[in-house]
Chains A and B, each alone.
Chain A
Amino acid sequence: MDNRDPLSNPGYLVRILSMVLSAGLLAVLIAAVVDLGDEPTGLTARVMEQIDQSGVSHPPTAVLLNFRAYDTWLEVAVLLLAAWGALALRQATRLPEQPQATSAGPVLDWLVRLLVPLLIVTGVYLLWLGTNAPGGAFQAGAVIGAALVLLRLSGYRSVGLLDALWLRGSLLAGFAGFLLIATVLFLAGWTFLEYPPDQAGLLIVIIELLITWTVAVSFVALFVAARPDPDDLNTESEGGHG
């Protein structure tokens, strides 16, 4: 496979060492997994006990946005860093439109016009569904992000319309919204990232809305930043940014 340049091949010694390391780790992991056994040990029962206070009725959503909100908040931060890092690599402050080479053609045009509204409705439905059934912000964000990528690929204007401020704001929205709500509640006397049970449902929906938009825009930003030709992004951003 990699034998066009024998010198760049890792030597046999490295292969054997790697195999020994992987096999050793495998043995340890197998022992650990077998040791776990079949008896349920998780927090299912405790989550089900407390779920009435969480503001939502779907257990994973309750865990994500209430009981383990800290994890989710920091995962949104990872998403922000990845998208921001990818943009930084391209030295771009906004996402340029796909240059439309030729007419998209009637079939693609029709399909995009059919699919994009459908994807947006599906995304919003998933977001709403998340409070009481499988669904939620991350799934909704992925679906809406897919709609935005589809728009881009077929030459329509979409995320390129966001200027530098709006793009950064969109990437930040989930993280900042989470932090803002947590801080306000903290100052009002609650524990950090704890919601008052009465308003928990509303607060969770607001945070989920922001996360959905952040996930969608982050996906498009990452998609654009990983585009094959690195130079055109630089030249287009130079106009406004220098």
Chain B
Amino acid sequence: MSLFLIYALAAVGLFAICLHAIITRSHLLRKILALNMMGSSVFLLLIAIAYRNSVEETADPVPHAMVLTGIVVAVSATAFALALARRYHAETGETELSDGDGST
């Protein structure tokens, strides 16, 4: 098993766990954290691909660049989600989205 495959499999495993968490966890903070971790798993995969595609010690700059900006975008999207959650909490006093019928 190559180094690329180890990291890539870890990334897809993390992605699947986070998807499960987003669906089943009802607390907004847990959902936001799961979404953030989901993004991190994609970064892990992109870095693994950059490593796989490296030519003479130079990692593939295309996925590399995507991760660089992606991290900043993920931080700001998470912060925006947290601001939304805070506002929701201030308006309703709830930390969970109302489901209407008691399920997702």
Contact = CB atoms under 8 A, between A and B. Distances in A.
A157 interface: no
Given A29-B16, A226-B82, A75 B61 contact: no
Q: Classify chain B's interface size.
A: 35 or more
Interface string B55-70: 1001111111110111
Contact of A64 (B15, B53, B58, B68): B68
Contacts of A36: 8, 49, 52
Contacts of A32: 12
Nearest to A218: B76
Interface stretch (A82-90, A96-104, A112-120): A82-90
B12 A29 contact: yes
A75 B54 contact: no
Interface string A124-166: 0000000000001011011000000000000000000000000
Assign chain A's interface to a size class: 35 or more
Given A44-B61, A226-B82, A8 B99 contact: yes
* Interface secondary structure of B, over-half rule: helix
A121 interface: no
Contacts of B72: 75, 79, 138, 141-142, 215
B94 to A, nearest CB: 10
B3 to A, nearest CB: 9
Nearest to B50: A42
B65 A63 contact: yes
A30 B73 CA distance: 26
Interface in A12-48: 13-15, 18-19, 21-23, 25-26, 29-30, 32-34, 36, 38, 40-45, 47-48
B37 to A, nearest CB: 13
A180 B13 CA distance: 42
A18 B60 contact: no
B92 interface: no
Contacts of A34: 5
Contacts of A79: 72-73, 76
B15 to A, nearest CB: 7
Interface of B: 2, 4-5, 8-9, 11-13, 15-17, 19-20, 23-27, 45, 49-50, 52-55, 58-66, 68-73, 75-77, 79-80, 82-84, 86-87, 90, 96, 99, 102-104
Interface of A: 2, 7-11, 13-15, 18-19, 21-23, 25-26, 29-30, 32-34, 36, 38, 40-45, 47-48, 59-64, 67-68, 71-72, 75, 78-79, 82-83, 85-86, 89-90, 136, 138-139, 141-142, 215, 218-219, 222-223, 225-226, 228, 230
22 contacts: A8-B102, A18-B23, A18-B24, A33-B8, A36-B49, A40-B52, A40-B54, A42-B49, A42-B52, A42-B63, A59-B64, A60-B61, A60-B65, A61-B65, A64-B68, A68-B62, A86-B80, A90-B87, A138-B68, A222-B80, A225-B79, A230-B86
